[in-house]
C-alpha cells in the first residue's frame, strides 16, 4: 500500500500490523540525543524546531553524503533506545515512528492511546534506503553531527507496519510472517 504521510485525509487507522507499505513525504530524523533535547524543550515550554503534530520521526543518523549524492547511508537505529522519550513525543501528536526492533509495553500502550503507527525498516539496508531520499535539509542541533535533526523528503520508502494504531504488534504475531 502506498502512503502519503502528508495526506491529512488518509486514515492511518486502516494500516494493520504486518502490512507492507511504501511511504512518501516528509520525515524527520531524530536519535537519542535529539530526543533528549526535544523532550527537555517541551517540558520547559520552549518551541521545538519543527512541528510534531501529524509528523513522522525516523530513528536515523544519516552518514555524510558522498560527492554527488543527496545523503549518505540512512538506515534505522534500534528504536527501544527512544522508548524513554516516546510517550512524551506521542502526546504532541506525532503519528508515525520509524525504526527497527520491538518496543516496550509502555510504548505500545502509548501508540494505542495516541492512535499512532510504528513502522519498521529492515536493518542492514541503509544504502538502499538512501535511494528513497529525494531531498534533505538540516533542521536543528547541528552540533550533534549525524544525530542532528534532518528533514528528509522520501519516495517509496519500503516499510512494514510493526505496531498499528490499536496496539497490534508483529512481534507477537504467530507465525512471524511479514
Residues annotated catalytic, as ranges: 35
Rounded to 5 degrees, φ, ψ at 20 are: -90, 135
3-state secondary structure of 39: helix
Give the cell for residue 83. 522508548
What sections of 23-153 are H helices per DSSP?
A: 32-43, 86-91, 105-113, 126-130
**How far is the C-alpha of 12 from the C-alpha of 147, rounded, in Å?**
28
User: Do 100 and 126 contact (CB within 8 A), yes or no?
Assistant: no
Buried b (16+ CB within 10 A) or exposed e, 14-47: ebebbbebebbbebbbbbbbbbbbbbeebeeeee
Distance, in Å, from the CA atom of 146 to the CA atom of 143, rounded to the nearest integer, reads: 9
Amino acid at each position: 500500500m502506498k502512503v502519503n504521510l502528508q495526506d491529512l485525509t488518509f486514515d492511518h487507522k486502516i494500516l494493520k500490523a504486518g502490512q507492507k507499505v511504501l511511504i512518501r513525504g516528509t520525515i524527520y530524523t531524530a536519535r537519542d540525543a535529539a530526543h533528549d533535547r526535544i523532550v527537555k524543550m517541551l517540558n520547559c515550554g520552549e518551541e521545538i524546531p519543527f512541528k510534531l503534530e501529524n509528523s513522522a520521526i525516523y530513528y536515523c543518523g544519516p552518514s555524510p553524503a558522498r560527492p554527488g549524492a543527496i545523503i549518505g547511508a540512512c538506515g534505522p537505529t534500534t528504536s527501544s533506545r527512544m522508548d524513554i522519550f516516546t510517550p512524551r513525543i506521542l502526546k504532541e501528536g506525532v503519528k508515525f515512528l520509524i525504526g527497527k526492533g520491538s518496543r516496550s509495553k509502555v510504548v505500545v500502550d502509548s501508540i494505542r492511546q495516541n492512535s499512532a503507527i510504528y513502522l519498521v525498516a529492515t536493518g542492514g539496508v541503509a544504502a538502499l534506503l538512501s535511494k528513497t531520499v529525494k531531498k534533505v535539509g538540516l533542521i536543528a542541533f547541528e552540533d550533534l553531527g549525524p544525530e542532528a535533526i534532518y528533514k528528509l523528503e522520501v519516495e517509496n520508502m519500503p516499510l512494514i507496519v510493526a505496531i498499528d494504531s490499536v496496539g497490534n504488534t508483529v512481534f507477537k504475531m504467530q507465525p512471524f510472517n511479514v
